[in-house]
Structure 1
């Protein structure tokens, strides 16, 4: 729209070219408009000739794609630009720009934030091209502190190599935050151990976690995010030792699937003993951990309640968990995650899923034969699966209310209930009326054995204790801390500091309002006097209308000497 509003008139130019409106420019072409390349060329030509020279010193963030790049970059010098995003590139095309475009080199030498997002077909295994691109970014961008490098739509992520060690180890000292997709676990360790040792924030998605031999303590890393779309059998051998080396970590995010043989699930006690106790400065832990157990001998696996209690004992009450009720073909699954759920995918879902609220989820991966039922948010048909998994993408019907109901098999389940089956406590609405609970307790609509804390913004279990578990949650250190913060930051209405208006003040305000209205709309003083007389008859039960007096002389004095 920017090009169509410029040069209409001076007033519109001031609005359109205001620094607040042009400091961030996005020139990415929508996919459904690519066929109109000639029209886009005309638009970009007009932008280059008439607009960019006028706003070159106001632009701070710039986003371009292969279509718009040749029209936007190299035309003017963006003196205030600090962030550049290159979107929808193939590695070969991007490599040509980095190799031949000197204007891009000059621009990259000044920016501090860069985002490179492209796509790679599965039959394009251009590992060397990607390595060269990554090396060029680090060599040209000497001031770079925040880099995002992602290639989408590929089953083969970026693969690091010793080819670029000599080029990057002395040029990456300024880089403090990196977001990247890589192929194997060694690529992650390579970044941490060799070339990017000054990182404080690493957000990484790994295609496969396997064995490695690299090791080094990571004192400078403060924020670490690790996600992987595949199972890993190297959790204890590789991932746990890596996390234990991050001694000064303040925020940790994990999204992974662990495969184990003849062992138990990953629970709160194991996470604390193996990982969390080595991170004394950790103040935020966000996780989504799926455990797949393959067992050919009889072992006792913990229940949902046992898993939840293991996290509650370690001071993490804001979690939810679900497990398979029995072994199927000597296999079992457990899913445990922090609340609220912060990830955009939910992988390895089975028919033991109990439902919940998942506002950010955009992709699910379902295993085994099951169906999804939902009232109005989702509409996904039954998916039958034997050994392989099926990936389903969906968009929620509403942005504010996303929920996934529990999964059940497409055949009627026949459960044998023993005479000594365990009975669980259920939420009672009268608890909300109790004074010490009223400020935080709410009902969890998806599960009657859970309660919702509006202070912690999470569910917690009451299945095995009822009010006792509510009292225990009330005494949790995390709940007390959040409650204190909420009480401290709770805003008061401005009217709390203003005395209620007196009768005289209300009458004066009414008279001034009436006079201002008359002046604004060019009413005569006589007509205002008549309006007052009519108001007294119409609103005879109003104290203000009954006592107001605003004749011609008084109205004139208020208009001239007060207003």
Structure 2
């Protein structure tokens, strides 16, 4: 059999994998998988000893969209890193970007690790999980696409000082607004000493100034010297009052004059009734998968 890649739906997985030998198979896509199916599949001695352990380097997992239990992701992750010892690419994909099958560790010290994984695309529940993924247990990882449900300080001490020299490409997005950007996100980025490509998709609560071109140059570009590509879609919300000198859209746009890497489009809205301002900045052409916080002032140029 010369088959190199198989995409399989949950109910047919085991039958198809058992029907013949696949000596050239290196890629596997498992769709609508449930925890019991994964457990049954990943403990099959015949598959483990041949295909899974020795051949599969790229694995795509799509969790059953009707399964919302966070333990599913943890259990499946633990099984994957135990069984697929030569895995280099691991991608968790979902039909909807708000799918709730996210990685959340019940244990304070998760045990998974890999010395071969290079690329990981995953959705997680908390910033704590993100720190665990980047604490050195995936020592060869050079590309990480990670979507968080929220960004809050972890309740326990986690290794978050070690440099992450192997990471070259980092994509970070979060569904919910965070007020911990300076406290959590910036220190994490500063650990990525050899980062070459960065993408941020965030909604941030700020106190004194919007996130604009000056801010990005001072707090990101000046600290990541190897950066070659920077794309972003950042919405910053700020409490406003009558005494503040509020910037206009033109003011914000001027702060991106001579901004490297990309063209930038910006818009500003003030909701006086709620005493709130919104500054929306994004790199152009727009590369993110979805839009957030689109107002009547949203400009052309997507």
- TM-score after normalising by structure 1: 0.50
Aligned to 1:239: 185
Alignment of 1:164-563 (within 5 A): 165-166=110-111, 168-169=112-113, 172-212=114-154, 213-214=157-158, 215=160, 216-261=162-207, 263-296=208-241, 298-316=243-261, 318-325=263-270, 327-357=272-302
Contact 1:325 / 1:352 at 8 angstroms: preserved in 2?
A: no
- Equivalent pairs, count: 294
SS at match of 1:348: coil
Deviation for aligned residue 1:194: 4.1
SS at match of 1:302: coil
Query: Which one has a larger percent helix, Structure 1 or Structure 2?
Result: 1
Q: Give CA deviations for 1:139-197 in whole Å, capped at 9, x if unaligned.
A: 1111111111246664462113547744x33xx01111111100001100110014213
- Runs of 4 or more, structure 1, over 6 Å off, are none
Task: From the superposition, tell whether residues 188 and 88 of structure 1 become closer, same or farther in structure 2 (CA, over 3 Å).
Answer: same
Alignment of 1:137-156 (within 5 A): 137-150=80-93, 154-155=99-100
- TM-score after normalising by structure 2: 0.90
Task: From the superposition, tell whether residues 250 and 64 of structure 1 become closer, same or farther in structure 2 (CA, over 3 Å).
Answer: same
CA distance in 2, matches of 1:281, 1:300: 36
Query: Which one has a larger percent strand, Structure 1 or Structure 2?
Result: 2
Q: Give CA deviations for 1:370-399 in whole Å, capped at 9, x if unaligned.
A: xxxxxxxxxxxxxxxxxxxxxxxxxxxxxx
Specify every segment of 5 or more residues in structure 2 that has no aligned partner in the other structure, as ranges.
none
Contact 1:73 / 1:103 at 8 angstroms: preserved in 2?
A: no
SS at match of 1:274: helix
Specify every segment of 5 or more residues in structure 1 that has no aligned partner in the other structure, as ranges.
1-55, 358-563
SS at match of 2:18: coil
CA distance in 2, matches of 1:253, 1:324: 24
Aligned to 2:31: 87
Task: From the superposition, tell whether residues 245 and 66 of structure 1 become closer, same or farther in structure 2 (CA, over 3 Å).
Answer: same
Matched, 1:64 2:13: no
Aligned to 1:541: none
CA distance in 1, matches of 2:141, 2:246: 39
Q: Which has the larger radius of gyration?
A: 1
When the two chains are superposed, the root-mean-square deviation of aligned CA atoms in Å is: 2.1
- Decide which moves more: 294-303 or 226-235: 294-303
